[in-house]
Amino acid sequence: MAPLDTLLAGLAREHATGALRVGRAGTIFLSEGRVTYMECAQTPGVERLLAARGRLPEAALRRLQADGGCKRLLEEGPVTLGELQYCVLGAVLDAAFFLLPVGGTRPKFRPGEQHWLGGQWYFDVAGLMRECARRRAYLAQIWPSAQLDTAPVRPAPWLPGSRVTLDSVQWEVVTGAGAEATPLDLARRIGRSGYSVLLAVRRMAAAGLLAPPVEPTTTTRAPEESATKAGEHRAKTAGGGQGALPQRGRGAAAQRPPHDPRAPGLPLGPPVTADPTDLALLMRLKKALEELT
């Protein structure tokens, strides 16, 4: 199974026009080998951004999509050409950041298909990959651990000092964060790009503004109660028993984790744990694969 970037590079070489559907994760639209639009299920698209930021309700956008398309949106909608281009640019790069590391699903290419908001900006495939890599490196430079990217955002209940400076996205993250919303949930809700929320969250972590992460066994929303109970039990025995494996204390989480430039991209789906339910799933998968051959 070829990774997505190799496949995309191939389509670029062939000057392909059409839509590459990557399972349920997203779709990449190309025109003569250049990317015109990209959708990712995890990040807010142009429609969501315009609606969430109060520019145009999603229903109005759907009406425009059905009748008149992009041309009419610019003629009568409250969006200027510059704004639309900038919005598409941001949304596509954001989708690329989260979609391109996806592997495993069998992408399907449908020639000729186009997105109604495509054609606002053309992205060269190699440039897109380079920009994604640059963004990943920048993120790691601010705060090297990718653990925060998928965990619920929990601002610290009190400040480590007496005064802080927040930028606009960080402000929205603080006001929007409940105990459960992950950075990407927040991005969709407040109408900011997923990457900008990741940046804000990692900067806040570096400034010590986030509550220390909960141990993985308790953060995962286990489907069965017995699983969480088992996790708690394990944690208790490990902490209290003599001669048990040394466990990372809560204080250690506040320290900066070691830098890992080759850290893998964001995992799709729930975080992987040593949870018995995960093991059961793996066993089932293994059995199913064995039966296939």
Partner 1 sequence: MLGLDDCLTEVMAIPGALDAMLVDQTSGMAVAISGPPHGVDAESSAAALTETLRATMDGLARSCPGETVRIDDMLVTTDKGHHLLRFLETVFEGPLVIYLRLDLERSNLALARYRLLNISRQLLA
Rounded to 5 degrees, what are φ and ψ at 39? Answer: -115, 140
Residue 72 interacting with partner 1 (CB under 8 A): no
- 167 forms part of the interface with partner 1 (CB under 8 A): yes
Nearer to partner 1, 130 or 233 (CB): 130
Q: Does 116 interact with partner 1 (rule: CB under 8 A)? A: no
- Residue 123 has, within 13 A of its CA and on its CB side, a CA count of 29
The 225-264 site mask, x for binding partner 1 (CB under 8 A), equals ----------------------------------------
Q: Quick one: 187 or 210, whose CB is closer to partner 1?
A: 187
Crossing angle between the packed helical segments 168-176 and 183-190, to the nearest 10 degrees: 100
Residue 16 vs 169, nearer CB to partner 1: 169
Task: Please name which of 3, 269, 266 lies closest in space to residue 129, comparing C-alpha atoms.
Answer: 3
Cβ at position 116, least distance to partner 1 in Å: 18
Q: Is 54 in the site for partner 1 (CB under 8 A)?
A: yes
DSSP letters, 66-88, are HTTHHHHHHHHSS--HHHHHHHH
Q: Does 191 bind partner 1 (CB under 8 A)?
A: yes
Q: Which of 9, 60, 74, 206 binds partner 1 (CB under 8 A)?
A: 74
Q: Which two tokens stand for residue 156?
A: 């610290």
CA dist., res. 34 & res. 17, Å (int)? 8
**Cα 109 to Cα 19, 32, 45, 91, 123, distances in angstroms:** 6, 14, 21, 21, 18
Up-side HSE of residue 111: CA atoms within 13 Å toward CB? 5
The residue among 120 and 220 lying less far from partner 1, judged by its C-beta, is 120
83 binds partner 1 (CB under 8 A): yes
Closer CB to partner 1, residue 11 or residue 200?
Answer: 200
Is residue 229 within 8 Å of 222, Cβ to Cβ? no
Binding partner 1 (rule: CB under 8 A), the pick from 19, 49, 205, 266 is 49
- Rule CB under 8 A: say whether 93 interacts with partner 1: yes
3-state DSSP percent of the chain in helix, strand and coil, to 5 = 50, 10, 40
Task: Indicate whether 284 belongs to the interface with partner 1 (CB under 8 A).
Answer: no
Cβ closest to partner 1, residue 92 vs residue 227: 92
Give the one residue of 135, 150, 176, 207 binding partner 1; rule: CB under 8 A: 135
CA atoms of 142 and 285, how far apart (whole Å)? 37
Min dist. Cβ of residue 222 to partner 1 (A): 35
Token pair, residue 181, equals 């919303």
